[in-house]
Structure 1
């Protein structure tokens, strides 16, 4: 597969979004609109992946910087660059969510902030850069106040506020009794007055944008189904190459998410599917049913095909009790990578088209690549539950070595996205004791955008046209690799009782369906199935063990 993926117009088949995948999708998309501190995302790290912050000014713990991005700014830009950037590395599939929807919300958030920054840039230039001495003076005061506020002592913040008030009073006195006249006098007055006026206008712009972003954040988590507006992805005419590249990038992202190639990273399990929590193997000798006769020839693909057809019937049962939802049954090509691999690469060549390994190559791998190096074939049945918050995958592998047939069934579970992404916006409030009834407190609602935040946004705005400068000055979010939107911030499903029950209950019916189909094929081809049946019965009892394990952790 090369980067020259054909996105030319033609007969378009719409990709139907899987039902019940909205919760996880909207939770991750809401991160693009958040205004909390960037370090908050470190709480969502799991035991396999680490999100880190890079930037010279952020190396000191507990010290903030006037150029530092907040969570939404850093998240939206990092995801956009990683998923749509030129020459990007391969992405891991995000099961249970619509990855394109999340990326589109990141684009929409970036577009809203871009429009805000354009207005702030004009304000900064007119009211700040043209009166540079005053701008530098006021920035110095704000920087000093911000440094004091971040100190360990509570009194430091009050000292910083008093410093700001004192400088303001001195500025007013100096403005009223300025001894200079003429052009110089008026310019000096402008140096004192214009930066605060610019700050007031910037606060109005910042406040309106903050309300818009918070409204979208709340709507996503409230189930409002708010759509992402991405005008930059709709070319107006053939000459708009940037918009066309963005449109093609989104289509490539969706195509890659539909790939049938996954990557096995040792104890980390199959990337995007979670760790392997259980494994059950049936291995017996192939013996003719009738003495003196040979077994009718068959291949691994014949067994897999029968299991595939049987798994398609999982949603049906003898009783009308609800049971399984419609599962996704799919042939997977599993490629091994190291546990600490920093990136993955998808297969290319004439046997791959649109990130999909072609059916004839899948069949060849199933029949021939069972021992030694190379990719392996697995048949997977996947359930997307809890509105996309729980992904249960059972993988079946069939191998025939000499006279031994082995059927391996393994279970993988990917838990819900971290609770950080499901928190709704809350008003900014401050509580203080009453003047008379000091034993009681009063709560006051603060503006969405603080004074320091207005200064931060106004100073960053003129530099957003070249993000590497901001990355160097304020830091950025470094996404965990190999990157996938879903598994990077997933929690363990075993922390939720009902999710754990769902995972454990899935194994028994899938195992029995696989064994039933395999035994039928063996019987049809003249194989003695007594030993296979006894072994399958034993496994059917063992699979009911209610304890998940770390099946990929081997004791030497």
Structure 2
């Protein structure tokens, strides 16, 4: 049994980047932590079965952008104490994504510290003026957010009118002495603070965008997360964070998965094809019984054969080295909001032990309980495509069945693979008004500077910002990859790869099973005939929704 306090590692370690060959999906999702687009953009990336939710806060002036909301939600969900079980993210390294979320939050925290100082000097000391200006910006933001464009124009005119009134008061005040100077400072100081805040925000925005584009270019700057390495034995916060990252990695390599009805195996994608070979066990020697064997004997033979899939008679490239693994599959409801991993003395560090795997394979083939599958997994397209073929062997009475099912997880949504673009606007030329030109705008505009400056003092306690500005709620059961994965069938070559993998895996499974049957005195004539029939049917496979039964 795994407890939250268990240390999964030998000691303090420096976090590493994702594994070679699985960086595209990892970097695409990690780039979301550095983005500055509206948080609602992520709703476009939701898959058919998994929907995110953006909860609105009390004031729109405090609302987060996509990067802030994503980093906060992922950190809380994947590193929080007492968190629910996670779904594995195949074809990528979730720890790397979390590290980039931590790095992005660290960069923003440094920016917010500077902004807090500016707010204290130029805002807190002149609080009435600050509240006046914030009230104006909140009013303008509320009006501009209306669907009526005239209302947005009205908000801008209102801001200009109040600015003009403030200028008049600066020139002609009805007061003298200290009060007059304070009233002038009350109007001017927030503006000066805004100018300083803009320089800070512009510098940080450029840094975040460089990291965003660097990740999608295949390289980029590594995640800077000094908070993950304890500085001394008493540094409990950093030690807890380090252990949370190690626990995340341990769960990523768990050998238990969950079948959620029409949603398929969570993290592997829906089942698009199924092929079965089932025949009666008959002795090949009349009057003589067959040798006793178990499902595990057949599975072990198939396992050994699948390990050799990358070898072929021709030097044609062919299969990359596959990942062959025994899986324990637990059934969950289609609309289940959480999952629970197997626990007990037969489980260690999220891994179901070998003897328990054999017991489930041999005895839990009918009725309630977990089931055993042998999976062969190919991670292709730099981690963007994950093909999983699952094999199960059952023996009921005198019938042996070998079933092969295909699962495919497509690339992450295109939203995560788009690079940043400069902010521009098209305006008419001053003299040749019939001609236009494109003008580059600052990365951080006036309303954005105000939003960041207002949020800065509250970043020391994020739940306050969640209450004031809203937050991103991740789909459950949550896994980084399957929540925002597209279907591979829209990509011609990805679809071809998924369907081409079915035939070789099927034939290897059948050949290994027939060899075990032959060695144990079983008449394999019918099995061989059935195998040929199934093999013929898989020649022209087409993706279907195999988990949606027409009944």
Please say whether Structure 1 and Structure 2 have the same fold, judged by a TM-score greater than 0.5.
yes
Q: CA deviation at 1:224?
A: 1.6
Q: Which runs of 5+ in 2 are unaligned?
A: none
Aligned to 1:276: 271
Determine whether 1:328 maps to 2:341: no
Aligned to 2:204: 209
Aligned to 2:45: 44
Give CA-to-partner distance per residue, 1:115-134, whole Å, 9 cap, x none. 11111111112211221111
Q: CA deviation at 1:420?
A: 0.2
Q: Secondary structure at the match of 1:442?
A: strand
Structure 2: distance between partners of 1:401 and 1:13: 51
Q: Secondary structure at the match of 2:8?
A: coil
Give CA-to-partner distance per residue, 1:170-205, whole Å, 9 cap, x none. 212211222322222221111111110111111111
Give CA-to-partner distance per residue, 1:196-243, whole Å, 9 cap, x none. 011111111111110110110010001124210101111100111000
Q: Which moved more, 1:530-539 or 1:425-434?
A: 425-434
Aligned to 2:340: 345
Pick aligned residue for 1:440 from 428, 435, 444: 435
Conserved in 1, the CA contact under 8 Å of 2:126 and 2:185? yes
Listed as ranges, the matches of 1:468-487 within 5 Å are 468-487=463-482
Aligned to 2:504: 509
Q: Which runs of 5+ in 1 are unaligned?
A: 58-63
Give CA-to-partner distance per residue, 1:347-379, whole Å, 9 cap, x none. 111111111011111111111111111111000
Determine whether 1:289 maps to 2:284: yes
Q: Please report the TM-score for the alignment, with normalisation by the length of structure 2.
A: 0.97
Pick aligned residue for 1:405 from 385, 400, 404: 400
Listed as ranges, the matches of 1:88-487 within 5 Å are 88-487=83-482
Conserved in 1, the CA contact under 8 Å of 2:211 and 2:220? no
Structure 1: distance between partners of 2:502 and 2:541: 10
Give CA-to-partner distance per residue, 1:501-545, whole Å, 9 cap, x none. 111101000000000000000001000000000000000011123
Q: CA deviation at 1:276?
A: 0.2
Q: Please report the TM-score for the alignment, with normalisation by the length of structure 1.
A: 0.96
Q: Secondary structure at the match of 2:501?
A: helix
Cα RMSD of the aligned pairs, angstroms, is 1.7
Q: Which moved more, 1:114-123 or 1:329-338?
A: 114-123
Q: Secondary structure at the match of 1:76?
A: helix
Listed as ranges, the matches of 1:18-37 within 5 Å are 18-37=19-38
Q: Secondary structure at the match of 2:60?
A: coil
Structure 2: distance between partners of 1:110 and 1:53: 19
Structure 1: distance between partners of 2:361 and 2:229: 42
Q: Secondary structure at the match of 1:252?
A: helix
Conserved in 1, the CA contact under 8 Å of 2:267 and 2:479? yes
Structure 1: distance between partners of 2:17 and 2:319: 21
Pick aligned residue for 2:531 from 526, 529, 536: 536
Structure 1: distance between partners of 2:164 and 2:189: 15
Aligned to 2:520: 525
Q: CA deviation at 1:272?
A: 0.2
Q: CA deviation at 1:324?
A: 0.5
Structure 2: distance between partners of 1:389 and 1:422: 11
Structure 2: distance between partners of 1:85 and 1:320: 49
Structure 2: distance between partners of 1:346 and 1:410: 23
Q: Which moved more, 1:432-441 or 1:289-298?
A: 432-441
Pick aligned residue for 2:542 from 534, 544, 547: 547
Structure 2: distance between partners of 1:302 and 1:5: 35
Structure 1: distance between partners of 2:13 and 2:154: 64
| Structure 2 CA distance for partners of 1:158 and 1:435, relative to 1, 3 Å | farther
